[in-house]
Amino acid sequence: MATVHLRIGDLVWGKLGRYPPWPGKVVSPPKDLKKPRGKKCHFVKFFGTEDHAWIKVEQLKPYHAHKEEMIKINKGKRFQQAVDAVEDYLKKAKGKEQNSDGKAESKGKKASNKPLKILDEDDEDLSALKDPSEKDLTDSDPEPSAVERLAGPGSGFKWESSPVKDDPHFHHFLLIQSEKPASSMEPISKRLKIIEEVTGSTSIQAADSTAINGSITPTDKRIGFLGLGLMGSGIVSNLLKMGHVVTVWNRTAEKCDLFIQEGARLGRTPAEVASMCDITFSCVSDPKAARDLVMGPSGVLQGIRPGKCYVEMSTVDPETITELSQVITSRGGRFLEAPVSGSQQVSNDGMLVILAAGDRSVYEDCSSCFQAMGKTSFFLGEAGNAAKMMLILNMVQGSFMATIAEGLTLAQATGQSQQTFLDILCQGQMASTFVDQKCQNILQGNFKPDYYLKHIQKDLRLAISMGDMANHPTPMAAAANEVYKRAKALDQSDNDISAVYRAYIH
């Protein structure tokens, strides 16, 4: 087998656990981040995901030499997007090299043509991607410190001697909120142990890996899930696919049937689910439904015992979260809020963004669950913070959707092509999958719910109320809220949020 020597900047295919080889680039690790002891590996940034990982040398192949081979065996949409990102990178790198060469020649300096140290490479030369001053990476390991720091003073990430097998599509973040106005955000592994130091700062160390051959190892804790709506259904499906033992309950019992066929167990009441399970998740429509589920007849509270965990995933106001946290902990339970950002499709794809706050030990216990249902997880500190952040995010999303709908109708009213408006929009700085999908749905008259209009209006209302309590003006959200209320009056509540468009044409 030919020896491959790699430098910082080299494009590679990196194999991580059970995932297919993925295009990436060898990069410098953060200044104080040490290489895993005893492992010959390089630090790689993956294209398309912006994730990083230490990859063993035997799991790395030069990008160009193996490009055709990899493209033949991998056909996924995200994979193709990652390859496209590499090609964009190459085009930009080539342009930069031509510009730098011209400048060097004008100054009478000789441009470097130092070749890559890649043996048996028959493909094109990649020296355009290299800075002549870059040094070759070596496989020698520097002496590890007692606690290997990643994110600066007071917090760090220690790599154990076992190889890191994190899913390249999944990140955890810990947002430590202190008295400082700025917060620090640090990557952490799938499983954590968080150590409070004498100074009061937080040290974060990787515990034993929860992955076997790179796949998600489901927790051995019994999982309960209450609420099988647009979001909950996708979440439960992904929990089951990843091997979790899940007991489900839904107000409309028929919705449970599909999941029973997939291997879920059936709970007769929320109280029964909570009593049977170690961790019970809830994802319902609004604050009233969330309260009723916990404190109503046969509610969760009746099944809570010391040590039982309750995770509220509904998007509700901070006051509701505070109330639920208090009643759960009063029975000896452990509480975490974890609302999710996304849509039905995103939920089905297991690519939700999870905002968590409350008991950090519950956050750790939910690690494999969050990995099954989402691509990113943030821990935001004390209970209530996640609710606040989620309402702000949905306030922005709802206001933005209303503005896009207003633009489409104004284009039509002034004799402009709505499709041309969308084409121009998608070529500019506001281009996104969200804009493209929602606008296409509007133009096609397809308002099948991916996120209910009635729920985004509820979130706008709660965000405006939160602003009032903080004595902070929210005039844009207030204006958008009125448009959504108009859409609801036109019987659009159970349609997608893009149906706000109809408020402008009636």
Q: What is the pLDDT of residue 211?
A: 37
**Three-class SS string for 441-473?**
HHHHCCCCCCCEHHHHHHHHHHHHHHHHHCCCC
Contacts of 363 (CB under 8 A, 6+ apart): 336, 338, 356, 377, 379
Distance CA 478, CA 215 (A): 45
Widest distance between CA atoms in the chain: 83
Q: Residue 166 has what DSSP assignment?
A: -
Identical fold between 201-381 and 387-501: no
In this prediction, residues 450-467 reach a mean pLDDT of: 97
Q: Calculate ∠ Cα 238-157-223, nearest 5°.
A: 25
Fold for 8-91, please state it.
SH3 type barrels. (2.30.30)
The residues facing 379 across adjacent strands are 174, 356
Whole-model pTM: value is 0.64
The 10s digit of each residue's pLDDT in 303-323 is 999 999 999 999 999 999 999
The 10s digit of each residue's pLDDT in 323-333 is 999 999 999 99
The residues facing 114 across adjacent strands are none
The 10s digit of each residue's pLDDT in 152-180 is 333 333 323 333 334 444 555 565 443 33
Q: What is the pLDDT of residue 143?
A: 36
The residues facing 341 across adjacent strands are 353
Residue type, 114: K
H or E element that contains 395: helix 385-413
Strands annotated E in 37-135? 41-46, 52-56, 60-62
Radius of gyration of the chain (CA): 25
Q: Which residue has the tokens 């706050």?
A: 357
Query: Where do the domains of the chain lie?
Result: 8-91, 201-381, 387-501
The 10s digit of each residue's pLDDT in 6-52 is 888 899 998 876 667 889 999 988 876 777 766 688 888 888 877 88
Token duo for residue 44:
């790689």
Q: Which CATH number fits domain 387-501: 3.40.50.720, 3.40.50.1110, 1.10.1040.10, 1.25.40.10?
A: 1.10.1040.10
Token duo for residue 228:
């099988």
Distance CA 26, CA 3 (A): 16
In this prediction, residues 131-143 reach a mean pLDDT of: 37
Q: Is the dihedral of CA 119, 123, 127, 129 positive or negative?
A: negative
Q: Which residue has the tokens 């220690």?
A: 158
Highest mean pLDDT among 11-20, 118-127, 186-195, 233-242: 233-242
Contacts of 307 (CB under 8 A, 6+ apart): 278, 332, 333, 334
Q: Residue 148 has what DSSP assignment?
A: -
Helix, strand or coil, per DSSP, at residue 144: coil
Reference 327, options 340, 308, 342, 345; nearest CA is 308
CATH number 3.40.50.720 given to 201-381: yes
The 10s digit of each residue's pLDDT in 337-358 is 999 999 999 999 999 999 999 9
413 within 8 A of 461, measured Cβ to Cβ:
no
11 within 8 A of 24, measured Cβ to Cβ:
yes
pLDDT beyond 80 at 109 = no
